Structure formats: C-alpha cells, structure tokens
Chain A
Amino acid sequence: MRNSVKVAQLDLRTLQIKFPWWALLLATDVVILVLAMLNFDVFAIIVGIVFGAGSSLVMVPFYSNQQRGVDGLLAALPVTRRQVVFGHYLFAVGVQCVIALNLFVVAAIYSFLRPDDLPLSVAAMVALGALTFFLVLVAVPFPFLMRVGYSSATIGIYTGVIVLVVIGLNFLSALGDNFSPSFTFGWVVAGAVALLVGSVPLSLHWYSKREL
C-alpha cells in the first residue's frame, strides 16, 4: 500500500504547473463565486472547468509516461506492477474526489449566501453527480491505458465515454417524473462504483502483460 501511495505521489508530481494546484483551484473558486454573486451565469464555466480539468488531469501521468518513458522509470524503481496500477487508480480517484469535494464546497458557500437560488441538497447532488461521472471516466479507459498507454486509441475511448455519459445523463433527465430522482441517482452512483471496482482486476491483468 505504501508503494502505491508513492506511485500516486509521483503521478501528482507529473502535474507540475507554474503555480501550486491548490492555489489555482482556490483562485478559480473565488472567481466563480464572485461571478455568481454578481449574477453571472456560471454554470457553463463550472461544467467546463470541472469536467475539463477532471478528465484531463487523470490523463497527465499517462501522457508523461508516453512522452518520456516514465513507465520505464517506474519499472526501474522498487515497486511491483500491481503497486503501480493501484497507485495510478489511487491518484485518479483522489484527484476526482478533490475536484468533486471542491465543487461541493463552492456550491455550499453559494447556497449559504443565496439559499433560495441553490438549496444545499441540490449542491450535494451536483457534486456527487460530478464524482460519479469522474469514476466512470476512470473505470472505462484505465484498463486500456494500462494495456497500451497513452495513445490516440485511448483518447478515442475517453471521448466515447464522455459522450456516452452525457447521453446517459440526458436520458435520465428525460425520464423526468417517471422515476424517483434519488432512487435513480443511487443506482447510477452504485453502477459507477461497481464499474470502477470491476475495472481494477482487468487493469492489473493487462498491465502485468504489457511490455514497457
């Protein structure tokens, strides 16, 4: 487990940008809140930032692996392939949880300031929905990333998953009042978690066979 945490830390270190990630996140949050308080429609900004950041951040370590042979570097370090896979998952799920939690905090602050505009329960649903989306984004492409690494094929799969999830969300909203929203939502979240857990053995198997 300790080695997997180290791999996740290494993944996090590949996300280097000019400013610390938490500072960037904080600055974005402040901008969104200020715009929201000034009655700007910030929904599109939030969707863009959250989904764009959430989907691209988890790919960065794989991109880095492809560009500079970091997979080979991992193979030269005292970690097993199993620990590498668990480390990548830990990193990806960790990043997604942080983004979803951050989204919830921003929504909760807004809800506190303007309770009539956004009830806290809806803010929580939005954050949980985002996390569900992120889990699917990890669960489906990750085994392919473990098998072939970062490539145009995996980008295709990634895009496909995003399109499917968006279609699924539209389908669910189209169901309208026919189903209890919390019941349906519960199943969707459970399905995403099951998908994520199910993808781990496949990733382990494929990464164990991969030539680095």
Chain B
Amino acid sequence: MADLLTVKDLTKKYQEFTLGPLSFNVPAGYILGMIGPNGAGKTTTLRLLLDMAAPTAGTVTLNGDTTPTARALARADVGVALDTTGFPESWRVADVDSAMALFLPNWDAARFHELIQLFGVAKKTAYKKLSRGTQAKVNLAAALSHDAKLVILDEPAAGLDPIARDQLMTLLQAYIEDGQHSVILSSHITGDLARIADYVLYIVGGHQLFFGETATLLDRYVLVKGGRGKLTPELKKLGLGLRETAVGFSLMMRTEAARNLPAGLTIEPVDLDALMIYYGKEVQADAQ
C-alpha cells in the first residue's frame, strides 16, 4: 500500500501561532479527514502541503517528490479546492473548462460537465454571481475532473445543502474505490467525515492530537453519563471533558479508565462531534 503523501515533523511558526510538528501519511485508496476547531491549523496544513507557504521545519513527500519545485510540477496529479481560492469573477463554466484544460494534461471536459450538471450549476452565469455554495460546487467539479491521484479539499461541504453534501460524500467514496486515488478533506461537519474518512488527523491549537484510523480514535474514548449526585471528584479526575446540566452530567474519558466505574452510570460510544466538543474544549482550556 503506497503512500501518496507522507508528512514528517511539519512545523510552521508564526508570531502568535505555531503549527505542528505534524506527522501523518495518506495511503493510496483512502480518505483522510482533518478535524479540529476554528483556528486549529487545518487550512494552514493544507497550504503547507501545496507549498502556498514555506514550512519552518519538516518534510512533505507528495507522490515521491520532496522539493517544492518537483511538487509544483507534479501537481497535475493533485486536485485542489480550497476555501480561499476560486476563479476570476467574470468566468463562466466554459471558461473554467478551457483554462483547466490548458494546464492539466488529464483534464476530462466531459466529466467536468457531468459534475456541473449533477451539482445543478448554471453554466451561463458568471462565477461572481453564483452563490457561495454553487461556487464551491464549481471548484469541486474542477478538482475532481482530471483524474488526480490525490484530491485536497478544504471545507468542501461548508456552503452545500444536505443533498449536495450527500452527493459529494458519495462521489468521494466512489473516487477512491479503485485503490489508486486518495482524498484529504478538512471539515467541521464531522458527521460527514465519520461516514467516509478512513483516517483522521485531529488538530487543536496547532497541535496534532491524533492521527490514525477513525475507528481507533473513536474506540479510545467513551461518554459516561449519570445524574448529578453520581459526579464524584474521583470521576472528574478521570474525565477529559465534562458537560453538566441541571439534571446530570456527561463526561468523556479514555475507554480503559471507564472499565471499573461504579454502578448507575451509562457508558456510550463517542462520535467525532462529541470528541471535538469535549476534548477540544478541554485542551483549549488547558492552553489558556
């Protein structure tokens, strides 16, 4: 199982923010989901992968290429749709098609128009007049229409309605089915990620908290719930994140810590949303 992307000790230092060190890899045929709260460093990570910013330390190996110039020239094998990039305002779908064909040898115009059709994008409307969600659809169609080995998507579902989101998730799953293609996507919509991501990279405040299989991450933690009287100081100590209500509490903790709990407590599996809410809040609180 060859890695399409290998990242080792990737670090970027800004005056008020440090990202990393991050280490992760993306094997061919898998989807990596990047999760983390706003400002965690997800977009910065994607920008570093694309050499839009230079790392302070660490290495990025993209399909075997290790230098920025080599990675740039091999970018025909990468499909990109970032939150911050787009197309010139006056362009219509046909203009995007012809411009991409100019640069990308494997550009598949038929596939592009098929996706545009599927997403219901008005072909004659200028890019600037499209809604944010529709602009995102054009970006996605462009990223998925040149048989890129690796597709990098930053918040692709942000402006999409539930139907379009479902279409996108189905498309991405189909895209990697042959075992030759991979996808990296960052998203706040963790329900979508949990559905399709084989691996998860969890970043909070620039720190890598977890990288590995999604199921492994979710198996590590449980949610313990009970009435208010059941929340003892000992139990609090075991918790990684706590939410209290008028009638009870829910506490996230490591699975092994939940093995010998007193009777009367309910143990439930966590999902990515709960993980981000409980764990992310705790880590952020620690950092402040």
Contacts and interface: CB of A to CB of B under 8 A. Distances in A.
Contacts of A209: 54
A209 B52 CA distance: 10
B274 interface: no
Interface string A192-210: 0000000000000000010
B102 A70 contact: no
B99 A13 contact: yes
B102 A76 contact: no
Contacts, number: 84
Interface in B114-137: 127-128
Interface secondary structure of A, over-half rule: helix
Given A68-B87, A72-B84, A78 B50 contact: no
Nearest to A18: B90
Contact of B89 (A9, A68, A71, A82): A68
Nearest to B126: A16
A177 interface: no
Nearest to A64: B88
Interface in B27-50: 47, 50
Interface in A106-160: none
Contacts of B88: 13-14, 16, 64, 67-68, 70
Contacts of B68: 80
Contacts of A13: 88, 91, 95, 98-99
Interface string B51-65: 111100000000000
A75 interface: yes
B32 to A, nearest CB: 18
Interface in B77-125: 78, 80, 82, 84-91, 95, 98-99, 102-104
A38 interface: no
Nearest to A83: B72
B69 interface: yes
Contacts of A80: 68-69, 72-73
B158 to A, nearest CB: 15
Contact of B50 (A9, A64, A75): A75
Nearest to B148: A76
B89 A67 contact: yes
A73 B69 CA distance: 16
Contacts of A16: 88, 90-91, 95
B8 interface: no
A157 to B, nearest CB: 23
Interface residues of B, number: 32
A13 B101 CA distance: 13
Contact of B103 (A71, A72, A78): A78
Nearest to B72: A80
Contacts of B84: 69, 72
Interface in A35-80: 64, 67-73, 75-80
Given A73-B85, A76-B82, A212-B53, A6 B127 contact: no
A77 B103 contact: yes
Contact of B104 (A68, A69, A78, A212): A78
B89 A64 contact: yes
B99 A10 contact: yes
A73 B78 CA distance: 12
A72 to B, nearest CB: 3
A79 B103 contact: yes
A6 to B, nearest CB: 5
A76 B85 contact: yes
B281 interface: no
Contacts of A70: 85-88
Interface of A: 6, 9-10, 13-14, 16-17, 64, 67-73, 75-82, 209, 211-212
**What are the nearest 9 A-B pairs in CB distance?**
A72-B85, A76-B80, A69-B85, A16-B90, A212-B52, A78-B75, A68-B86, A211-B53, A78-B76
